[in-house]
Amino acid sequence: MKNFIITALIIAATTMGSYAQKTKTIDHGFWVAESNKHNPKEQTIRFYNDEAQLVYEEVIYSKLDIRKKKNQEALTRLCNKLYEQKEYAMHLEKNQLITAALNLKH
């Protein structure tokens, strides 16, 4: 019985992980959000292309909850836009693309 429960838990855990992978809506590239537990209002968002090369990076100084679906979708749209317009990120003056896209306060 113990082996059956452990096996069922492992199957359930791997099924949930594969479900998360199927909901991927990014066409090209991916984004990563990093934060520090000692300074939670400072986060670094990085966008990468299909070859895992850094395309754009921005440090934001406001709390951004990336667990919210609307924030994830906004970052995904931004990732797709950066992929389509590869030179778009290179011409930004103050690296305020994410702050402007998500209407964050400085």
Ranges of each domain in the chain: 25-101
Q: How confident is the model at residue 86 (pLDDT cuts 50, 70, 90)?
A: low
Neighbour-count burial of 93, counting CB atoms closer than 10 A to its CB (0-12 exposed, 13-18 middle, 19+ buried):
exposed
> Greater confidence, 95 or 82?
82
- Residue 96 neighbours by CB under 8 Å, 6+ apart: 58
Give the chain's mean pLDDT.
Answer: 75
Contact 86, 51 (CB under 8 A): no
State how far the Cα of 29 lies from the Cα of 40, in Å rounded to an integer.
Answer: 26
Are 104 and 65 in contact by the 8 Å Cβ rule? The answer is: no
Q: Which residue has the higher pLDDT, 88 or 66?
A: 66
The pLDDT of 79-90, averaged and rounded, is 70
Residues in a beta bridge with 57: 46
- For the residues 53-78, what does the mean pLDDT come to? 87
Two structure tokens written together for 33: 């959000």
- Return the higher-pLDDT residue of 92 and 68: 68
Cα atoms found within 13 Å of the Cα of residue 21, Cβ hemisphere only: 6
- What pTM does this model have? 0.62
pLDDT reading at 93 higher than 60? no
